[in-house]
Every structure is written in C-alpha cells, then in structure tokens.
Chain A
Amino acid sequence: MATKTYLQALNEAMRQEMERDPEVFILGEDVGQFGGCFGVTQGLFETFGEARVKDTPITESAIVGAATGAAAMGMRPVCEIMFVDFIGVALDQLYNQAAKMRFMFGGKAKIPMVLRAPQGAGIGAAAQHSQSLEAWFAHVPGLKVVMPSTPYDAKGLLIAAIRDDNPVVFLEHKILYGIEGEVPDEPYTIELGKAKVQREGNDVTIVATAAMVHTALEAAEQLAADGIDAEVIDPRSLTPLDIDTIIDSVKKTHGLLIVHEAVRKGGVGGEIAAQVAEQAFDFLDAPIMRIGAPFTPVPFSPPLEKAFIPDAGAVVGAVKQMRG
C-alpha cells in the first residue's frame, strides 16, 4: 500500500480500467495532453493516445451525448465535465436521454457510462464554479450518484462506477484532490450503495458527504473532548443509498445530524431525514437536524465563502443543541 492523493487515486483508477478493458475511453474538454483542468487525467493521453483520451470542443451536450450513444453500443465511456456547474447546458442528454433510455426501451438498453465532475466550494471560484448539485442527480431515476471523500474510496468507487452498467454521476470534491491516504496499488472495487462508518461512536450519528466527512470528523474530535462520542457515516453513494447502515446507527445513538455542503433547502439531507423519520422515529431522542449551506449562490469574497461552507463549529453546535 502506498500513500496517494485523491487525485492520484482517481487517475490510477482510470489508468487501470483502461489497461484492463479496451472499450473504456475518456472524453472531455482539455483531458488530453493538458491532463484535465484539475489534472485528473494527467498522463493518460501519453499512455493511451488520442483515440482513447479524446479532447472535445467546448460542447457539453455533445460530450454527454457521445458518451451516451457510445455506451448504448456497449462501450464504457468516462466523460469529464470540467466543473459540475456546466452540466446545465448538457442536462437533457443526461437526465432525459442517458438516464431514461433503459426504462423507456423496456430494459433493452444498457448505458454503462461515467460522468465525472468536480464540485464544491473553497477555492474562490464563485457562483458558477463552486456548486454542489448532487441533489439534482439524486432526484433522477436511472442515474447513480457517487461522492467519494477519501483517496481509498475515490479509487475503488471509480473502478466500480466504470464497471457498472448504468450511467453513474461521479462527483469529486475539488478541495479534496490534494488530500492523501493509503491506496492499494492493485485495482479494487467498492460496491456502490455501501456506506462507510468513518468513526464509530455511541452518542450521536453524523451523516456527512464529500468534504463534509472531514469536517464532521474534525467536529467529532472536538465533541470527544467534551465527552460526546459521535459516529460519522459517509454514504459514499446517494443512489443507491445505504439507508440501513444509517438506521442501524441511529438505533444505537438515538440522534441524527446530516451535514452537506450543498444548500440545505432541497438537499439530500432532507431525504435522509425523511427516511430515518419514517423508519426509526421511535428511536430518536431529539428532532433530526440538518446542516447545509445557506440558500444563496456560492459567494466569491473569502470571508463570505468561508461563511457559506459549513464548518466543524457548526457541527459541534448542532450536536450540542440536539442533546439539549
């Protein structure tokens, strides 16, 4: 096992899948020699050439459509949308075409494609380059939605996504690209739909996604100093969602806080809260709480952006409030 960054883990996942399966290919803006806007596809063009690492024009609909059509023919495209914020101009190809083809065609098509996109705030990229849009995708039947938070998960989940026979929206948090962790050299998969308990605890369950997993872990350490033993769960994929792991935890801790960076209103926290309320209401000692960004576009100026992103202090505060 070696220490690798989240970005290297993603890169290695694509490299190893391309070595294994000649039908896997990459397309997107500046993914070739340039190596991708954040460098995630670096070096792949040199190894696999332009037939398999395809630079596209700035044409998101045509990118997602080309991936969809090639996938319908049995290939395994991995397309990169430079920032998830750009999906708006291509959304039809994703949610009306790729996501629905199998169902509309009565189960006769498979669309084994991955759409990778960085999302999230924290680098001063402002309102059109910083959003967390996972709730949009999680609302569309036919799509799978994956959000890794660690280098280990990034590699295993991306390989699983590439081997999956469905369109998978794979959301990378751009602030995590540089974090390091242990990542095995050999290829491995992590089943989509299996949450990971990142920290075990008995007093409260904190469900967090992407960068917020790290925020929640930081908060858990602060809470531990005050004698509160928090359990931190990363669902890792929102579709499928491993609600059972969350419910089992709530049955043990009797409290639930959900933390995501996406705006709180209409976020996936509401969905998780509702499912837990439906299935484990009697186990709750306090109302479920949610933390998310305020209902504003992502601001530019550093103090505003910092205020926009939920932090460990907010998590600690919410847990203390919940416990009265």
Chain B
Amino acid sequence: MSITNEQMIQMFTTMNKIRQFETRVQEFFADGRIPGFVHLYIGEEAIATGACATLRKEDCITSTHRGHGHLIAKGGDLKLMMAEIFGKKTGYCKGKGGSMHIAAVELGILGANGIVGGGGPIANGAALAFQYRGQDNVAVCFFGDGAANQGTTQEAMNLASAWSLPVVFVNENNGYGISCPTSKSMAITDIADRAAAYDMPGVVVDGNDVLAVYEAVSEAVRRAREGEGPSLIECKTYRWRGHFEGDACVYRDENEVQSWVERDPIRKLEEKLQEQGILSPEKSREIRDALAKELEAAVAFAEESPLPSVDELEEDVYA
C-alpha cells in the first residue's frame, strides 16, 4: 500500500486538529459554557483520521455520541461545529442538534447519534442507495465496543453481508461502554471475530496507529467500492477522558490510563515522521500553530454568533 508523505502530514494535521478542538471543548465544558453532555475523542484520534483519509467527499459516514473526531476527519468546519456545540443559530444544525447530533449531509456525515447502535442500519441505507444507483461510493459506520452488542449492529452487519452492501464497519474498541469493561460485556476478546458470522473480513488493528487504521480501512473500502461487500475493522484504543465530561472514572485505574497516554497516537506518528525526516520539529510546530489559529477563529465565531430565536423552535420538524 502506498501512502505519500503529504498524506501522512495531512493525517498528523487532522489528528492534532481533533485533539486541539476536543481540548478546547473540555475547557469550555469545565467553565460551564456548554449545555448538555459532551463525550470527548481524545486518545482515539487515529481511528477517525485513518478511516476518513480513505474516503471521498461523496462517501458517507454514520457517527456516534463521541462524534467530534469523525466530523472533523470527514471535513467538518470547526466554526460550524463549535457554534453547534454552543447551541448557536449558526451551527451545523442551527443549534437544534448539539454535540450528540451534529450532522453535515452535504459532507456525507449522516449524523452523530445519541442512540448507541443507532448508526449501523442507517449506514446500510446509504450504502443501498449507492449500490442501487451504481455509484462506487461507500458508507462507513463508526461504532463502539458497547454498540457492538446491540441488536441493531448485528442486524446491520447481517443485512450488509446478505446484500453485499458497500459498508465498512469501523469498531472503536476503547475497552469500556461507560463503566462496563468489555471483559464483562462480551465473552470474546476480539469483536472482529464476529465478522466470521457474517462471512466478511474481520481485522484487528492498533487503533492508536493511524497508518495501520488507514491501511486496514483502505483495503475494506477498496473491496466495498468493487462490489465485494462489507468488512469489519476493529480498532483497539482507549479514551483518555471520562465517558463524558464530569465522569469521575471510579471504574478504572489511573495506571491504566497512563499506560495508554504513553501510547499517544499523535506522538506515535510524529516520532515516526521525524525519524523518517518527513516532518521537522519546526514544521510540526507550524502545523499546530496554524491549527490553533483556526480553532481560535472557530471559538470567536461561536462566541459571537447569536442564539436561535424561539420563533425557530417549530421550524424544521417537517419538510
């Protein structure tokens, strides 16, 4: 598999963009400036980044409650995202969706989802439309280890396989569904084993290695585009933050968290690129500084934007 230096630098940039965005959201939440729930993607950036780097604009994704990373990786605009998370009228969903429902259908983002396991059946539907129309686009369904145990996920994998739909099921196994470890939620160690039940390839990758994710998803996307049907890619990872902001994390041990922080997916790529002479420390700093500027502009946009008018409440219920 060939991957250019430029692509790798792009992935480095995207991962940093997600990290900076999430860190900022974390601060805002702590300051009480964001209503509702936020579920941060810090530590898992390699998955969305590697997977979406294989996609075209016309390809679709379904995302989850932990969706900011997927949106950014699929081309989401930080301004519109931050405004949405603030509940502003200028946000992606006019403030009607919030963190758990950000969508950008024009970018193929069929929504974050507040329902665990909600995305699989919908990804199939998008894939069915591609298949029916003879388009070689694909749909990627991101889902967690918790979502892996939902009936909808099994139904979706079965139907995708029975109909050879161009879907890639990207499992983000971060070891927990809220407080429940996978050791208690399932009898198997590798969710990818379930692919065998649906006669699709099941691959386990290091979810903190963006290049490994890219490689595995590329092959799955190639198969899907060529009409060979769905695949299941399980990406082993960890969430650094609590399940949602405010989670005291009583169910896990600080050493465990630290051991994963040491496997930081961003640092891992950065070191690799530096060793190979692809990315200098200066260039790396430049990238981060440029991202910080973009983020500040997004923050300013969100802060300055108006809240929706209550007159808009009853709009957009029906087409």
Q: Which residues of A contact B (CB under 8 A)?
A: 25, 51, 54, 56-57, 59, 61-62, 64-75, 77, 89, 92-93, 96-97, 101-112, 141-142, 144, 165-166
Contact = CB atoms under 8 A, between A and B. Distances in A.
B20 interface: no
13 contacts: A51-B132, A59-B159, A65-B156, A66-B121, A97-B115, A102-B318, A105-B93, A105-B101, A105-B103, A107-B315, A109-B105, A112-B319, A142-B318
A70 B111 contact: no
| Smallest CB-CB A-B distances: 8 pairs | A65-B121, A69-B125, A106-B93, A107-B316, A106-B94, A165-B319, A73-B129, A69-B122
Interface of B: 60, 62, 91-97, 101, 103-106, 110-111, 113-115, 118, 120-130, 132, 139, 151-152, 155-156, 158-159, 162-163, 315-319
- Of B120, B126, B127, chain A has the most CB atoms within 10 Å of the CB of B126
A93 B139 CA distance: 18
Contacts of A108: 92-93, 103-106
A56 B132 contact: no
Given A61-B152, A62-B121, A74 B129 contact: yes
- Of B113, B128, B163, B315, chain A has the most CB atoms within 10 Å of the CB of B128
A72 B125 contact: yes
Contacts of B118: 92-93, 96-97
Contacts of B60: 73
A112 B125 CA distance: 13
Contact of A166 (B101, B114, B127, B319): B319
B159 A56 contact: yes
A108 B110 CA distance: 10
Given A65-B122, A72-B110, A96-B114, A106 B132 contact: no
A69 B103 contact: no
A69 B121 contact: yes
Given A93-B121, A108-B93, A57 B159 contact: yes
B86 to A, nearest CB: 14
A109 B103 contact: yes
Nearest to B163: A54
Given A104-B97, A106-B91, A65 B111 contact: no
A102 B315 CA distance: 10
Nearest to B112: A104
A69 B155 contact: no
A83 B46 CA distance: 44
Contact of B96 (A56, A73, A104, A112): A104
Given A101-B111, A107-B316, A142-B318, A72 B155 contact: no
Given A104-B97, A106-B95, A72 B152 contact: no
A70 B128 contact: yes
A67 B163 CA distance: 14
Contacts of A65: 120-122, 124-125, 152, 155-156
Given A62-B159, A106-B94, A166 B318 contact: yes
B115 A110 contact: no
Nearest to A73: B129
B156 A62 contact: yes
Contacts of B93: 104-106, 108
